[in-house]
């Protein structure tokens, strides 16, 4: 994709490249193959360029090539044939890594997160004023956050829930970066791919810095004209990032394509599934989830379960159905930072996910059965923990942030994340 301008700052033409590389596992009927990853004379194909009209042609390409180049301007519309679905990497078991205790990792995670938040604020300011961004620092921050995630992802997952709505755009970018890397690790992606995901998430929304703040932060419903302005931010993002050194292609795709939909109703191009890369599909899901569960100028945070239902209901149309299922499986029914009501009526916050048992995280009780403040009490629901009547503790329902006076950003909940407090809890 290339932006050209005939009049300084005003974009006159958006040029979209027609020749692009596609892994053979992601070929679809109707695509026009214009080049192979090897000379044509080393294959049995009679023509040097042809549309894929039969499944056998796709199978033949998969047998002899790893990737090909397709020309999107010559794509053939098929009325009767069923397209071969686009597939991403097979979900592999995450690499087994030594895990640090939450109390041990939390300080490094906090330091990395705070440094990352300051960096992304500077990056967004640089984009807003047309300055060169420090891409080397971005790569360093992503690498540092990934290292913390791999040691104990619960520490970082807690921190990403602590967004201030006044800093929503910057902290949203950081949160999407961190969560995308955690999700990618669940999918079994290698570390170099995880870092690309981290960069894609960190920079996916930079185009919003070219949007009028009065429209971007409007508390009420946008008019149709205002929404058309908002819909330009992917183009602005691509324009800003293409001018920067050291920006990976995955970040360009995510900035431009994170509002595209599989059914072709997204923006800015209305692309179909063949044009939405695997990494962009991941960013799209994480972006939507983080937005739905965050306090914004124009909307209150909704419970995690509501976000899951929205993702499920839009699967296959807006989001990749398989990735949505894996995303929910990765976060678990009650992710870190979620307020929950226990079967006793007590209210707790999830502080650490269990790697095997989704419904049995570690929680800290903060409200008694009458919903009154109480001395914080640690419960590991994966262990045999019983109530006063001898019944095992269980979670009844998830609650939205702010329930019963509990806000994740308040000092009361922040105190839980102190290393000494966590160490005391972990020794129980």
Residues 110-145: pLDDT tens digits?
999 999 999 999 999 999 999 999 999 999 999 999
86 found inside a domain = no
Lowest mean pLDDT, pick from 169-183, 254-268, 385-399? 385-399
What pLDDT, on the 0 to 100 scale, is given for residue 81?
44
pLDDT greater than 60 at residue 15: no
3 found inside a domain = no
Render 1-69 in DSSP notation, one character per residue: -EEE-SBTTB--EEE--SEEEEEGGG--TT-EEEEESS-GGGSS-SSSSEE--SHHHHHHHHHH-SEEE
What pLDDT, on the 0 to 100 scale, is given for residue 38?
87
Residue 220 DSSP code: S
Question: With contact defined as beta carbons under 8 Å apart, do 421 and 415 qualify?
Answer: yes
**More confidently predicted of 353 and 16:** 353
Q: Alpha helix (H) ranges present in 208-258?
A: 213-216, 224-230, 233-242, 249-257
Question: Of 307, 331, 355, at which residue does a domain stop?
Answer: 331
> In the predicted model, what is the mean pLDDT of residues 168-175?
87
Residue 392's domain comprises: 339-426
Give the orientation angle of helix 304-313 with respect to helix 278-292, to 10 degrees. 140
Q: Residue 308: which pLDDT band, with cuts at 50, 70 and 90? A: very high
Sort 207 into a burial class: Cβ within 10 Å, 0-12 / 13-18 / 19+: buried
State the average pLDDT for the chain.
Answer: 85
Distance CA 192, CA 190 (A): 6
Question: With contact defined as beta carbons under 8 Å apart, do 55 and 80 qualify?
Answer: no
What pLDDT, on the 0 to 100 scale, is given for residue 72?
74
* Statement to judge: residues 191 and 267 lie in one domain: yes
> In the predicted model, what is the mean pLDDT of residues 296-308?
80
pLDDT tens digit sequence for 43-62: 777 667 888 887 878 888 88
83 found inside a domain = no
**More confidently predicted of 252 and 416:** 252
Residue 315, strand partner residues: 319
What pLDDT, on the 0 to 100 scale, is given for residue 123?
96
* Statement to judge: residues 310 and 393 lie in one domain: no
What pLDDT, on the 0 to 100 scale, is given for residue 340?
93
82 found inside a domain = no
pLDDT greater than 70 at residue 77: no
What pLDDT, on the 0 to 100 scale, is given for residue 358?
75
Percent of the chain whose predicted confidence (pLDDT) is above 70: 88
Question: Of 282, 298, 331, at which residue does a domain stop?
Answer: 331
Sort 188 into a burial class: Cβ within 10 Å, 0-12 / 13-18 / 19+: middle
Distance CA 200, CA 251 (A): 4
* Statement to judge: residues 46 and 172 lie in one domain: no
> In the predicted model, what is the mean pLDDT of residues 401-407?
88
Closest CA relative to residue 221, chosen from 166, 293, 297: 297
| Three state DSSP letters for 174-206 | HHHHHHHHHHHHHCCCCHHHHHHHHHHHHHCCH
Neighbours of 28 (CB within 10 A): 20
47 found inside a domain = yes
* Statement to judge: residues 128 and 270 lie in one domain: yes
* Statement to judge: residues 176 and 256 lie in one domain: yes
Q: Residue 288: which pLDDT band, with cuts at 50, 70 and 90? A: very high
What pLDDT, on the 0 to 100 scale, is given for residue 19?
75
What pLDDT, on the 0 to 100 scale, is given for residue 166?
56
Residue 70, strand partner residues: 20, 33
Q: Residue 279: which pLDDT band, with cuts at 50, 70 and 90? A: very high
What pLDDT, on the 0 to 100 scale, is given for residue 145?
98
The CATH number covering residue 304 comes to 1.10.3210.10
Q: List, in order, residues 6 or more apart from 289 with CB less than 8 Å away.
A: 179, 307, 311, 327
What pLDDT, on the 0 to 100 scale, is given for residue 298?
66
Residue 350, strand partner residues: 363
116 found inside a domain = yes
Number of domains making up the chain:
3
Residue 87 DSSP code: -
Q: What is the largest CA-CA distance in the chain?
A: 78
Residue 118 backbone phi and psi in degrees, to 5: -65, -40
Residue 395, strand partner residues: 342
pLDDT greater than 60 at residue 149: yes
> Is the link from the previous residue into 356 a cis peptide, with omega within 30 of 0?
no
* Statement to judge: residues 411 and 346 lie in one domain: yes
pLDDT greater than 60 at residue 64: yes
What pLDDT, on the 0 to 100 scale, is given for residue 309?
93
Question: With contact defined as beta carbons under 8 Å apart, do 197 and 181 qualify?
Answer: yes
* Statement to judge: residues 246 and 122 lie in one domain: yes
Percent of the chain whose predicted confidence (pLDDT) is above 90: 50
Distance CA 356, CA 371 (A): 30
87 found inside a domain = no
pLDDT greater than 50 at residue 36: yes
What is residue 286's three-state secondary structure?
A: helix
* Statement to judge: residues 246 and 356 lie in one domain: no
What pLDDT, on the 0 to 100 scale, is given for residue 79?
56
Question: Of 280, 314, 331, at which residue does a domain stop?
Answer: 331
Q: Residue 12: which pLDDT band, with cuts at 50, 70 and 90? A: very low
285, 286, 291, 293 alpha-carbon torsion, rounded to 10°: 110
What pLDDT, on the 0 to 100 scale, is given for residue 78?
65
* Statement to judge: residues 412 and 301 lie in one domain: no
* Statement to judge: residues 369 and 326 lie in one domain: no
Instruction: Count the helices and strands in the chain (H runs, E runs).
Output: 15, 11
282 found inside a domain = yes
pLDDT tens digit sequence for 249-263: 999 999 999 999 999
pLDDT greater than 60 at residue 201: yes
What pLDDT, on the 0 to 100 scale, is given for residue 167?
66
* Statement to judge: residues 370 and 242 lie in one domain: no
* Statement to judge: residues 299 and 152 lie in one domain: yes
Distance CA 332, CA 354 (A): 9
> In the predicted model, what is the mean pLDDT of residues 301-306?
84
pLDDT tens digit sequence for 330-380: 998 889 988 999 999 999 999 998 877 777 899 999 999 999 999 999 999
Lowest mean pLDDT, pick from 27-41, 158-172, 263-277, 289-303? 158-172
Q: Taking the model in full, what pTM does it have? A: 0.77
Distance CA 226, CA 293 (A): 23
């Amino acid at each position: 994709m290339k932006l050209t301008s005939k009049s300084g700052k005003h974009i006159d033409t958006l040029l979209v490249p027609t020749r692009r590389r596609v892994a053979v596992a992601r070929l679809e009927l109707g695509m026009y193959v214009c080049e192979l990853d090897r000379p044509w004379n080393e294959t049995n194909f009679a023509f040097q360029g042809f549309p894929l009209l039969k499944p056998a042609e796709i199978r033949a390409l998969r047998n002899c090539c790893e990737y090909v180049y397709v020309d999107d301007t010559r794509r053939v519309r098929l009325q009767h044939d069923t397209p071969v679905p686009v597939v991403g990497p097979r979900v592999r078991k995450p690499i087994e890594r030594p895990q640090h205790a939450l109390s041990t990792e939390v300080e490094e995670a906090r330091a990395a997160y705070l440094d990352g938040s300051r960096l992304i604020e500077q990056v967004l300011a640089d984009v807003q004023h047309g300055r060169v961004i420090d891409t080397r620092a971005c790569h360093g921050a992503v690498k540092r956050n990934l290292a913390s995630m791999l040691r104990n992802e619960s520490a970082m997952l807690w921190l990403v829930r602590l967004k201030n709505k006044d800093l929503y755009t910057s902290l949203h970018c950081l949160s999407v970066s961190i969560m995308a890397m955690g999700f990618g690790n669940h999918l079994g992606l290698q570390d170099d791919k995880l870092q690309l995901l981290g960069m894609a998430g960190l920079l996916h929304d930079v185009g919003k810095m070219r949007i009028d703040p009065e429209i971007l932060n409007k508390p009420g419903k946008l008019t149709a004209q205002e929404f058309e302005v908002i819909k330009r931010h992917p183009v602005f993002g691509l324009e800003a990032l293409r001018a920067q050194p050291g920006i990976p292609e995955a970040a360009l795709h995510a900035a431009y394509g994170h509002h595209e939909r599989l059914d072709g109703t997204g923006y800015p191009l209305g692309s179909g599934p063949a044009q939405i890369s695997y990494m962009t599909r991941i960013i799209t899901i994480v972006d939507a989830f983080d937005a739905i569960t965050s306090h914004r100028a124009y909307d209150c945070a909704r419970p995690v379960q509501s976000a899951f239902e929205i993702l499920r209901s839009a699967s296959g149309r807006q989001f990749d159905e398989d990735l949505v299922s894996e995303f929910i499986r990765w976060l678990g029914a009650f992710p870190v930072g979620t307020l929950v009501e226990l079967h006793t009526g007590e209210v707790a916050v999830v502080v650490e996910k269990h790697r095997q048992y989704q419904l049995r995280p570690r929680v800290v009780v903060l409200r008694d059965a009458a919903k009154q403040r109480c001395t914080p009490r640690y419960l590991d629901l994966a262990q045999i923990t019983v109530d006063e009547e001898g019944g095992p503790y269980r979670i009844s329902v998830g609650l939205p942030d702010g329930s019963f006076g509990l806000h994740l950003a308040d000092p009361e909940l922040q105190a839980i994340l102190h290393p000494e407090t966590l160490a005391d809890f972990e020794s129980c």
